[in-house]
């Protein structure tokens, strides 16, 4: 462009290689990262311009669930019959 007379001497061009995600893709990406890694809350404060508090404790997926009460067990057993007869 300089050879064609444009006054661009000393100017350089930077291409933006960042990926544009749809909101659904961004949520999926951030959820995946949050599930696997500890993320600095400052990232979300800066990105979404909102304060971030302490992270909530979520039950571990490997934690055993609470046992059923005996009367609920009996109810489930009484209703345990094939759906298609």
Report how far apart, in Å, the C-alpha atoms of 69 and of each of 28, 61, 73 are: 37, 21, 6
pLDDT in tens, 20-39: 889 999 999 999 998 999 88
pLDDT in tens, 31-82: 999 899 988 889 889 988 888 887 777 666 665 555 555 555 555 555 566 6
Q: Where are the domains of the chain?
A: 21-54
Whether this prediction's pTM lies above 0.85 is answered by no
- Report how far residue 73's alpha carbon sits from residue 30's, in angstroms, rounded to the nearest whole number: 39
Report how far apart, in Å, the C-alpha atoms of 23 and of each of 29, 49, 84 are: 10, 16, 42
Better-predicted residue by pLDDT, 68 or 7: 7
């Amino acid at each position: 462009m300089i050879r064609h007379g444009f006054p661009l001497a000393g100017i350089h061009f930077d291409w933006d290689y960042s990926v544009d995600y749809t909101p659904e893709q961004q949520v999926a990406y951030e959820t995946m990262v949050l599930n696997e890694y500890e993320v600095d809350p400052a990232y979300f404060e800066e990105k979404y311009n909102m304060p971030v508090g302490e992270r909530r404790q979520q039950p571990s997926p490997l934690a055993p669930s609470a046992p059923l009460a005996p009367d609920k067990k009996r109810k489930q057993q009484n209703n345990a019959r094939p759906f298609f007869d």
